[in-house]
Chains A and B, each alone.
Chain A
Amino acid sequence: MLKFFSKILFTPQNVISIHSASRTEKMGVLAVGEKIEQKVKRLFRGSLAIRQVDAGSDNAVEQELVALSNAFYDVERFGIHFVASPKHADMLLVSGPVTRNMAEALRRAYAATPEPKIVVAVGNDAIDGGIYKGSYAILDGVHTVIPVNYQIHGDPPTPLAILQGLLDILEIIDCESVTTANSPAVQE
């Protein structure tokens, strides 16, 4: 028991700072979809509840998302946390190319999330089908099933990239000028 506590106390903290990543690490956030209404502004700055929906993904993105909660990346320090039910969530983080079997489930998860809500498609598969594009079993991207507000590129995006992306999304929500659909990608 004593060894256990001493291990806890003497392990150094090694949380990765979001400002330390190199430019190439920041893959960028694409803002698509409808204009976010005014009421979303400042609302999610303090506390963002994310529900992660696996729409038939190959689990690569899920691995990276799980890594977000570990001691290195620690997404909780920004007030972001993962929740167990879409009814508790503000943001749906969808991964996977949306297989046919998961389409209805995804729609129901979207319907069960109360307003105001944001949908983020994470990973190249979720954006347009990725490496599975054109297959008979999938519906080629989340935007064909539910309206998507943001996209995060990568196959899969590293946890740092996802973290950066989430923070950029929060910045965009907070800004006065919110970009509309089909605008050029916002790069940092």
Chain B
Amino acid sequence: MSFIIWTIQLILVPVLSPLVIGVIRKSKARFQNRRGASILQPYNDVWKLMHKDEIISADASWIFRYAPYIMFAVTLVVGASIPLVASFLKNEYTSDILAIVYMLAIGTFFLALAGIDTGSSFGGFGSSREMTISALAEGGFIFSLLTLALISGSTNLFSISAFIAAPNLLSALPIMLAFLGFFIVLLAETSRFPFDNPATHLELTMIHEAMILEYSGKRLALMEWASANKLLIFISLAINLFFPWGIAQNLSLGAVTFGIVVFAVKVSLFCLVIATIESTIAKLRFFRLPDLLIVSFILNVVAIGLII
């Protein structure tokens, strides 16, 4: 039985992430009074891209060619290490706060290098902006997870999820503050509003898109899939670490099924929240983004101050 759980854990993130993107796009379309594509559209996109040829620039090196695989592999490993539907699993090896933060940083590192590798201007400034945002977001990211670790007495993500599932009024306020800080980091790292517009065509406004402008075919499919994975990873962290009610706490069929259902519901709610944010506020000017990230960091420090 636990083998089945671990298999679900490994494949859930790559299988579900295009659906998450589809739900967000559909909700945004509804906000704009359109019908929008079906929520399964990103699967079609990935499938189609996998069956196209590629054109690779002559200036690109092996870093450009292998960065999509590295990024996708990193998101798979991180996706398998975070609590998705069950918090009773034991992963003492890779489910550490710092381990997942820095493993995601490997992906960002290679993505930024790949953006510059082809020598196009767009990729260059896309990488510069991405590294600026990422450097400042890392502080808020580590600290929001640290707040939870200090509350639960462990940096293992599964233990944190299990501990916070038991309701405790005293730590409600710090958890809320830490969640707000984490939410800002989520928007920053997954290139959502107000940090970046994932649907823009204007290169001067791109951050994440600019770095993948040179990709085509299979590699583009992997890159888009990897960023969808990253979005689902962050959403799972948000819902399973800060609001882990309903997560499966023991190895029984009922609990696991309930856990899966609750996970699906929570992810959809979160997608609606993201879509609402994307439809109501405007993208911020680039030099106002560090202020927002420092706000996230300060919220986390206040949360830590409340619990120590």
Is the CB–CB distance between B34 and A77 below 8 Å?
A: yes
Bound Cα distance A14, B209 (Å): 31
Chain B residue at minimal CB-CB distance from A52 = B201
Does A15 have its Cβ within 8 Å of any Cβ on chain B? yes
Indicate if B31 sits at the interface (CB-CB under 8 A): yes
Interface string of A106-145 (1 = CB under 8 A from B): 0000011111100000000000000000000000000000
- Residues of chain B within 8 A (CB-CB) of A46 are 41, 44-45, 47-48
B33 at interface by CB-CB < 8 Å: yes
Nearest A-chain residue to B44, judged by Cβ: A46
Are A90 and B48 in contact (CB-based, < 8 A)?
yes
* Known interface pairs A44-B48, A87-B214; A79-B41 also in contact (CB < 8 Å): yes
Question: A76 touching B48 by the CB < 8 A rule?
Answer: no
Most buried by B among A83, A85, A114: A85
Q: Is the CB of A77 within 8 A of B52?
A: no
Give bound CA distance, A82 to B199, whole Å. 9
| B interface, size bucket | 20 to 34
How distant is B267 from chain A, measured CB to nearest CB, in Å? Answer: 22
B34 near A115: Cβ-Cβ < 8 Å: no
On whether A82 and B41 interact (CB within 8 A), knowing A43-B48, A71-B32, A87-B213, the answer reads no
Q: Which of B41, B203, B215 has the most CB of A within 10 A?
A: B41
User: Which label, helix, strand, loop or mixed, suits the secondary structure of the A interface?
Assistant: loop
Taking a contact as CB atoms under 8 Å apart, the answer to whether A13 and B55 are in contact is no
Cβ of A88 to closest chain B Cβ, rounded Å: 6
Q: Mark A68-97, 1 if CB is under 8 A from B, else 0.
A: 001100101111011111011010000000
CB contact between A114 and one of B38, B44, B54, B280 (< 8 Å): that residue: B54
Known: A71-B33, A114-B54. A84 touches B209 (CB 8 A): yes
Q: How far is the CA of A111 from the CA of B48 in the complex (A)?
A: 20
A selection of 23 A-B contacts at a CB cut-off of 8 Å is: A1-B280, A8-B31, A8-B33, A8-B279, A15-B35, A46-B45, A47-B48, A49-B45, A49-B48, A74-B36, A76-B36, A77-B35, A81-B37, A84-B206, A85-B213, A87-B55, A88-B215, A112-B55, A114-B52, A114-B54, A114-B216, A114-B217, A115-B53
Extra inter-chain contacts (10) besides given A46-B47, A74-B29, A79-B37, CB under 8 Å: A8-B279, A44-B48, A70-B34, A71-B32, A71-B33, A74-B36, A76-B37, A90-B48, A112-B55, A116-B52
Give the A-binding residues of B (Cβ under 8 A). Answer: 29, 31-38, 41, 44-45, 47-48, 51-55, 200-201, 203, 206, 209, 213-217, 220, 279-280
Q: Which 9 A-B pairs have the closest CB atoms?
A: A46-B44, A47-B44, A87-B216, A115-B53, A77-B35, A84-B201, A114-B53, A71-B33, A85-B213
